[in-house]
Amino acid sequence: MATFLQEKNGVSGILGRTDGATPNVIRDNAINDVRQNEIANAYPFSWLRKKTTVITGATGLADLPADFNINHKIYDIRIANSGNDDIFSEIDSIGFDSLTSNVYFIDYNTTTKVWQINTHNNSITITIVYYHIPATLTADADVDIIPDQDVIAMLAGARYWLSSERDETNHDRFKALGERKLQLLINKDKKAQPLRRTRSTMFGVDMGFNR
């Protein structure tokens, strides 16, 4: 895993410079924007999974973590220590829905500005495995969770060429190279993952005996 300084040096190299250790707000913002948006949103990478527990309140609601990435489905969610996967099953198959339609769903609280899980179960502990948005890198010694430094350098370099240098040719060139590297990163992650169980095509169908 690369440090923030190594990533800054990588972007500087794309730009033909050696000033990675010199403060540069445009470059540093480009690095974090690429990490937290382009890469984290592109695919549910295994190394972005994070486990936590939340406790539902009196209304059955629990706030999801601040770094929860809504662009990907929750990987796993269940009542803690129960082995019950009903919550996981319904969230996985329903996604977003309304209070009147289903028991378990994800919703956005417009007052508190956070995503919430609605369980209709009061004061219970829920275990969640979700895909998180990588934390902002600030110090040179900060270590990035993203395993490919070249993807970040190319995509962040492309942003810098456009925003600072107004060079569309170099932007397009490095954007294309970065996206190609990103696809390779996705393919590697797919190959490295164990097969997950799949549900029957009759999952959720009322067959009388399975009510």
Range of the domain at 11: 4-44+135-192
Query: Given this model, what pLDDT does residue 167 score?
Result: 87
Q: What angle do CA 201, 93, 95 make, to 5 degrees?
A: 160
Please tell me whether residues 102 and 115 are part of one structural domain.
Answer: yes
Please tell me whether residues 140 and 39 are part of one structural domain.
Answer: yes
Please tell me whether residues 92 and 77 are part of one structural domain.
Answer: yes
Query: Given this model, what pLDDT does residue 45 score?
Result: 96
Give a yes or no: residue 199 inside a domain: no
Query: Given this model, what pLDDT does residue 196 score?
Result: 58
Query: Given this model, what pLDDT does residue 70 score?
Result: 92
pLDDT less than 50: residues of the chain: 93-94, 211
Query: Given this model, what pLDDT does residue 82 score?
Result: 65
Tell which of 131, 150, 178 closes a domain: 131
Give a yes or no: residue 208 inside a domain: no
Pairing assessment for the beta strands 61-63 and 114-118 based on DSSP bridges? antiparallel
Count of the separate structural domains present in the chain = 2
Give a yes or no: residue 198 inside a domain: no
For 68-101, give the secondary structure using H, E and C.
Answer: ECCCCCCCEEEECCCCCCHHHHHHHHHCECCCCC
Enter the DSSP assignment of 132: B
Q: Residue 138: count other Cβ atoms within 10 Å of its Cβ.
A: 10
Please tell me whether residues 94 and 140 are part of one structural domain.
Answer: no
Question: What is the percent of the chain with per-residue pLDDT over 90, rounded to a whole number?
Answer: 60
Give a yes or no: residue 204 inside a domain: no
**Token pair for 11:** 């972007």
Give a yes or no: residue 96 inside a domain: yes
Enter the DSSP assignment of 66: T
Q: Could you report the per-residue pLDDT of 1-39, keeping only the tens digit for each?
A: 899 999 999 999 999 999 999 999 999 999 999 999 999
